Structure 1
Amino acid sequence: MAVQSLESLYTEHQDWLQGWIRSRLNHVEHAQDLTQETFIKILMKGREHELSSPRAYLSSIARGLLVDFFRRRTVEQAYLDALEIEPEQHTMSAEQHHLIIDTLLQIEQMLDEMSERGRHIFLLAQLDGLSFAEISRRLNVSVPTVRKHFIRAMTQCLLLLEDSP
């Protein structure tokens, strides 16, 4: 395995990585941005890298960034679709728009980290407005079980709020 500095990794593989990302996005500017993000992620690790397969390493990091990119785009599109349904259009700054999308992504991540039952209980209570007793009957579990899962979910929400700027 050869030890490679970030500079040599960038010099030798940046063009290849950008092409690899562009082939998955079909968008030059996004490919450039994600290529730079890949190298920034490596830079943040702050060490030289022993790599037997630098391209596999780079594509692995870039693949994670692509997943994040597509997830963000999906959430953003769902948000824009929801705004179109609103009877009155609200104007907002680009900063407000980005803050809302970031918050939605954090909520999505929080929901992904919950157990399936916990997520289901939380969504039934919050989105459908069901009481613990109604959720208990619907899911055929005890009210204390519903309460326990709901409290865990709300705790995660509070931690999310605490961590936000």
Structure 2
Amino acid sequence: MTVTQSAVHQHVHVRYRDHQGWLQSWLRRRLGDAADAADLVHDTFLRLILKPALKDFGSEAVARAYPRAIAQGMCIWR
């Protein structure tokens, strides 16, 4: 089954709505800067949109772990 671009965007939008707040708080504590945290949240979800085969995250634990892992990887390079 092929996932349409619109379906992927909708899926990421729902995940952004549900998880943006805690991810931004986690990054703000880690980085010590609200603006950098907001930028990284945006970049994290942009990477999820650009992921070629985005699938449903499944459990709530995975729904948090996956974006957090992406964001943590970007923190290393900042």
Q: TM-score range by the shorter chain?
A: 0.7 to 0.9
Give the residue type in structure 2 aligned to 1:42: L
1:8 pairs with 2:14: yes
Aligned partner of 2:34 in structure 1 is: 28
Question: What SS class does the counterpart of residue 56 from structure 2 fall into?
Answer: strand
Aligned-residue offset at 1:26: 0.9
TM-score norm. by structure 2 comes to 0.77
Distance 1:25 1:49 in 2: 29
Give the residue type in structure 2 aligned to 1:63: Q
Give the residue type in structure 2 aligned to 1:67: I
Distance 2:11 2:53 in 1: 8
1:59 pairs with 2:65: no
Give the residue type in structure 1 aligned to 2:46: I
Give the residue type in structure 2 aligned to 1:33: D
Question: What SS class does the counterpart of residue 14 from structure 1 fall into?
Answer: helix
Instruction: Mark the runs of 5 or more structure 1 residues left unpaired by the alignment.
Output: 70-165
**4+ runs deviating over 3 angstroms:** none
Aligned-residue offset at 1:68: 1.2
Give the residue type in structure 2 aligned to 1:12: D
Kindly provide the CA deviation profile for residues 17-63 of structure 1, in whole angstroms up to 9, marking residues without a partner as x: 10011110010000000110000111111454321211101110001
Paired residues, what number? 66
Aligned partner of 1:41 in structure 2 is: 47
